Amino acid sequence: MTLDAFLALLVYAFVTSITPGPNNFMLLASGVNFGFAKTIPHMLGISIGFLVLLLAVGFGLGAVLTAFPALHTGLKVAGGVYLLYLAWKVAMSRSLSGKGEANARPMRFIDAAAFQWVNPKAWVMAITAMAVYAIPEHPFLSVALISIAFTVVNLPSVSVWAGFGMALRGFLSDPVRLKWFNIAMGVLLAATLWPMLR
């Protein structure tokens, strides 16, 4: 991979990691509701989960989904249903740090990592990265470089969203503002399904 191609890959990784999507909306809401420190496992789960997905796509899973459209459709449906469930949970959250809500907690590492497998944006990012930047003559090396690029860029990018959520905690300590913020985040999270449904 040339230096120009690798720099273009870094830009692609940054733009796709920092722009709004299911992960970033959930991190924003988690930063508000639970704080930055308690959201760290969620952020790490996203980064590691996406890395594993990226490697799987790079080493052949993308071809399997292309060969079996029903499997791809099933994955999209499962992802969509789970995303709507998460959107509902975010929208119904009513207090900072779960005070007064016995089962309120930030997303765990394993949950966030597993979510990448049903996250429509993560699949698009992974398949596009491998299709555009992988070099057929050097498949292992190019998959490794693509994975390194995303690993370096992804965690700092998603951390910005949790940090922004943390910065909003003071403003959203008012229960009415927090209620409407969480409803808005739930609606935005559900709206991320729109590109998949078109």
Q: What is the CA radius of gyration of the chain?
A: 17
Q: What is the mean pLDDT of residues 58-70?
A: 77
3-class SS at 134? coil
* pLDDT (0 to 100) of residue 196: 61
pLDDT at 186: 82
Q: CA–CA separation, 162 vs 151, rounded Å?
A: 18
**pLDDT confidence tier of residue 80, bands split at 50, 70 and 90:** confident
Question: Is-contact 118 82, C-beta < 8 A?
Answer: yes
Per-residue pLDDT at 197 = 59
- Amino acid 163: pLDDT: 95
**Residue 118 has what pLDDT?**
85
Sequence ranges of the domains in the chain: 3-15+23-97+106-196
Per-residue confidence band for 101, with pLDDT thresholds at 50, 70 and 90? low
Give the single-character DSSP code of 68: -
What pLDDT, on the 0 to 100 scale, is given for residue 43? Answer: 97
Per-residue pLDDT of 128-160, as tens digits, reads: 888 888 888 888 898 999 999 999 999 999 999
Which two three-digit tokens encode residue 100? 């007064």
Report the pLDDT averaged over residues 75-83.
Answer: 75
Token look-up 């449904």 returns 197
Q: Could you tell me the pLDDT band of residue 65, with boundaries at 50, 70 and 90?
A: low
> In this predicted structure, what is the pLDDT of residue 41?
97
> Cβ distance 63 to 72 under 8 Å?
no
Number of residues that make up the chain: 198
Q: Average pLDDT for residues 94-98, to the nearest whole number?
A: 63
Which three-class secondary structure state does DSSP give residue 19?
Answer: coil
What is the model's pTM?
Answer: 0.80
Q: 8-12, 17-21, 141-145, 176-180: which range is least confident on average?
A: 176-180
Q: Give the residue-averaged pLDDT of 31-47.
A: 94
Residue keyed to tokens 């990691």: 17
- Separation between Cα atoms, residue 31 and residue 169, nearest integer Å: 8
pLDDT at residue 100 greater than cutoff 70:
no
CA–CA separation, 66 and 64 (whole Å)? 5
C-alpha 177 chain-centroid distance: 25
How far apart (Å, rounded) are the C-alpha atoms in residues 158 and 153? 9
Q: Are 116 and 46 in contact (CB under 8 A)?
A: yes
